Amino acid sequence: MDLGLVGLGKMGGNMRERLRRGGHTVVGFDRNPDVSDVGSLAELVEALPSPKVVWVMVPAGEATRATVAELGELLSEGDVVVDGGNSRWTDDQAHAALLAEKGIGYVDCGVSGGVWGLENGYALMYGGEAADVAKVQPAFDTLKPEGEFGAVHAGKVGAGHFSKMVHNGIEYAIMQSYAEGWELLEKVDMVDNVTEVFRSWREGTVIRSWLLDLMVNALDDDPGLESIRGYAEDSGEGRWTVEAAIDNAVAVPAITAALFARFVSRQDDSPAMKAIAAMRNQFGGHALHTPPPTGGDVDGDGQAPQSEAAQQAGAGQGEGGSGAGPTTGES
Which entry of 52, 135, 144, 164 is annotated as an active-site residue?
164
CA distance 22 to 140: 11
What are the strands of the beta sheet with 53-56, ordered from one edge? Answer: 25-29, 2-6, 53-56, 80-83, 105-112, 123-127, 151-155
Q: Which amino acid belongs to residue 177?
A: S
Q: Which of 259, 178, 240 is nearest to 214 (CA)?
A: 178
Active site residue 171: yes
Q: What is the DSSP letter of 32?
A: S
Alpha carbon distances (Å) from 222 to 15, 189, 225, 240: 30, 19, 5, 32
Q: What is the DSSP letter of 5?
A: E
Point out which residues pair with 55 in neighbouring strands: 5, 82
Question: Mind giving me the DSSP string for 238-258?
Answer: HHHHHHHHHHTT---HHHHHH
CA distance 115 to 60: 18
CA distance 328 to 314: 12
For helices 62-74 and 89-100, what crossing angle results, to 10°?
Answer: 20
Which entry of 17, 70, 129, 171 is annotated as an active-site residue?
171
Q: What is the dihedral of CA 67, 107, 59, 174, to 10 degrees?
A: 170
Active site residue 330: no
Q: What is the DSSP letter of 116?
A: G
**Could you list the active site residues?**
164, 171
